[in-house]
Amino acid sequence: MRLRQSWWQSSPQMHELSIASSIVESVLEFAVKNEIKKVLEVKLLIGELMAVEWEQLRFCYAAITRETAMEDSSLEIEQVEATVSCPYCSFRGRPKYWEDALSCGPIATLQCPECGKAAEPEQGKECVIKTIKYVI
Amino acid sequence: MIQTIEASPDEIYDIELEHSLLEANARLARENRALLDAHGITAIDVMGAIGSGKTTLIGRLISRLKDRLGVAVFNGDATTSCDTDLIAEQNVPVVQIATVNGCHLDANLIGKALRKIDLNGLKLIFIENIGNLICPAEFPLGSKARVVVVSVTEGQYMVRKHPHMFLGAHLVVINKVDLAEAMNVSVAQLAHDVHTLKPDIKVIPASCKDGTGLDEIATELVAI
């Protein structure tokens, strides 16, 4: 564990490692069952409302796929847009964004864009392997 | 030969394919919840940054509740047991969950902790999550409610910096309000930020030093 110290310093977002581990476990299980020699590409769907940092996920993925059937495979990530539904005014659609929240980009909120009351997330919490491309 | 398998949109959530990456944790969380429900226990997941006052707050709430109902605490901590020791002084069951290098508790660890204590007679379990406002958001544990503790000493922009945590919360405690003036932090603005993200959420300003808000939090938790 040579990086132990720097993990602490650099990664408040280590759940990317948990997610990367989960990807690798699922794909390798599939690869063993189906006698796949090499995995070329894994395509993920990640919801906009998920606190997942893509670059860190890629870094973890590359690190833990080494010396497996997934080594050097590409990790494609597609974002699923958030949608919300409002139980008060029956609004369904894209969420209201907090434009002036000092962040790098607007933040999706659970405030109904129509009536301002509390909306429920409908789409945007996905974290799914969509496809894998492989060689037999 | 290159082959592509593609799940059709209605298959994407198919658990048989085990393609949903957080499903394994979510399944264990449902099992924990079923076990808790069967014993009539409410578990409360307490989240917040390091130093936001999670342990002290839990300690104060236990003092108020332990004579009325059975309370236990699970303490998530990367390495130390000092928080666990502090809670144990109150003579309630407490389990330390050392995650070592992990930055969040997951449903599997909670499942193990649930098997460590006698659940009979308990009504409330506080799960003190790791001091981290980002990771625990995506890992449900089986709790009935999530409480996020944010203290004025973390500055004016804490809510804006960690929106995901608040989107999934049921109750927000703004802690250390006795220091708000010294910190030049507006409690009203913090509360406003929380309501911008999630309009219906209850926000309780509190101070473990002078007791502000503690009875209200205790009442709120017992009613969940």
Question: Taking 90 as the threshold, does the pLDDT of residue A94 lie above it?
Answer: yes
Q: Decide if B198 and A45 are in contact by the 8 Å CB cutoff.
A: no
Whether A49 has its CB under 8 Å from any CB of chain B: the answer is yes
Q: Which of B2, B4, B12, B21 to mutate to test the interface with A (most CBs of A within 10 A)?
A: B21
Name chain A contacts of B134, Cβ cutoff 8 Å: 12-13, 15, 51
Q: What is the pTM of this model?
A: 0.82
What are the start-end ranges of the H helices in B14-169? 23-38, 54-65, 82-88, 107-114, 158-161, 163-167
For residue range B29-62, list pLDDT tens digits in order.
999 999 999 999 999 999 999 899 999 999 999 9
Whether B167 has its CB under 8 Å from any CB of chain A: the answer is yes
Residues 21-40, chain A, touching B (beta carbon < 8 A): 22-23, 26, 29, 40
For residue range B68-110, list pLDDT tens digits in order.
999 999 988 766 677 777 788 888 999 888 776 566 788 888 9
Q: Distance (Å, rounded) from C-alpha B179 to C-alpha B145?
A: 27
Q: Of the candidates A14, A111, A133, which has its C-beta nearest B135's C-beta?
A: A14
Strands B70-77, B145-151: pairing is: unpaired
Q: Distance (Å, rounded) from C-alpha B191 to C-alpha B187?
A: 6
Average pLDDT over residues A42-69: 90
**ipTM metric:** 0.75
Nearest CA in chain B to A6: B101
Q: Decide if A131 and B3 are in contact by the 8 Å CB cutoff.
A: no
Question: Taking 70 as the threshold, does the pLDDT of residue B114 lie above it?
Answer: yes
Q: Tokens in use for B45?
A: 């997941």
